[in-house]
Amino acid sequence: MRPRRLVVVGDVLLDVDTVGSVERLCPDAPAPVVEVGTERRRAGGAGLAATFAAEDGCEVVLVCPLADDPAAAEVVRLLRPAVTVLPLPGRGSTPVKHRVMAGDRGLVRLDSGSGAVPDGRVPPSVREALECADGVLVSDYGRGTTSDSAVRSLIGEVAARRPVVWDPHPRGADPVAGSRLATPNAAEAAATSGLAGTDLAAVGAQADELVRRWSVGAVAVTLGARGALLSHGDGIPTLVPARPVHGPDPCGAGDRFASRAAVRLADGAVVSEALESAVEAATDFVAAGGPSTGGPPMATLEQVRARGGTVVATGGCFDLLHAGHVATLQAARRLGDRLVVCLNSDASVRRLKGAPRPLVPASDRARVLEALECVDAVVVFDEDTPAEALRRIRPDVWVKGGDYAGGHLPEQEVLAEWGGQAVAVPYLDGRSSTRLVRAAAHVPDRPRRNR
């Protein structure tokens, strides 16, 4: 089973966070003095949405106008190897959003760059990617990509046969007719529909109007802490409430919502199922600290370490989760304050175990793992080993099952780069996914009763 292919189309940005502490004011102005601690860089805009989709186990292609400047090169570097970038010929410069933070609170944001705009030419590689896609996510940041007639025409062709999720922007173009789902936030829905009000009745009317105006299958209006409201244009809307969470930085939650909805629709889910999963993903992202996590929807590992806590990681394919897996995960979680699971992507599992593995796609394997109380976050990696994922997470402890005790792990050299330690924990003997697969393959069919 190959991984689902999702094409993300939109505008990319470079997000830079300079994080420090504030303990005094400047003597010559009423301004805080920031003692700089760390700097975080990540792909923003459609790049962030593409990153989220890759973490959910999709094979992701990002189609975007790309400027010829250092910021664009940095965005591509940050996205590889999880995301394949196919540039659209264009002009302009890469937008850079630079936030200065005191801990998890923003003090000021400095914006630069005009934005890269496509010039109407679409390379054959882009056409081929869209033709082979299982789904498309349009991540509009109002920079001109979604207004390009050639781009819109191609997306319209895809919408006739595959799910298209359109995350709109006030300065962007309307979704193409036939899109499966549009995901405006409450302010965008009110402004675009021309209907005022913030109560559920008003939001429902706004969503109904946008379904008709845009000629899309459904509109999901994101409502922040209230969840999301889904309308198909008539009948009773569906409201999916969000669980109460406290997160200092909700920036990026909309991208998390739209990306998860697109992934689930590409997996074959119906719109209401995709909406439930999208609300859950966005809520988890905010609860984990939002963009301050540096990418994946995990607890803020830097803050854990700053408090003297211990970050633990473990990894594997987890194809058919069984009691042996659960025992290892529970033991690993008891060794520290946060547990991150490095999960082999579908392509990685196939290279390691051969066809027809995996039996369960990465998006579903990640969802099952995330539902376990002992797991704080899941990071999907596409390589044969989790070395690069470990370099991003930098765990204090790397855990493997007891069948590795006394052996040598290739990850040990990687952990030595920052002083991490590999350990083995007891493993429940006789439990394995391979054994389950073999047993299931030899179970005889029950004889059918005559009726």
Q: Which residues are catalytic?
A: 255
The DSSP-derived string for 119-182 is -S---HHHHHHHHT-SEEEEE--SSSGGG-HHHHHHHHHHHTTS-EEEE--TTSPPPPTT-SEE
Take residue 49 and report the two structure tokens written for it.
């949405």
C-alpha count within 13 angstroms, C-beta hemisphere, residue 126? 23
| Residues in the chain, total | 451
What's the CA gap between 424 and 404, in Å, rounded?
A: 6
Residue 144's nearest CA partner among 165, 166, 120, 110 is 120
How far apart are the C-alpha atoms of 42 and 15, rounded to whole Å?
5
Residue closest to 53 by CA, chosen among 148, 139, 176: 139
Q: Structure tokens of 365?
A: 């394997």
Task: Give the β-pairing of 96-102 and 105-112.
Answer: antiparallel
Count of alpha carbons within 13 angstroms of residue 15, beta-carbon side: 22
Q: Tell how many helices (H) and how many strands (E) occur in the chain.
A: 15, 20
Structure-token match 């854990």, residue found: 304
Pull the structure tokens for residue 21: 């502490």
The C-alpha angle 405, 382, 436, rounded to 5 degrees, equals 55
50: tokens are 């593409």
CB of 293 closer than 8 Å to CB of 299: yes
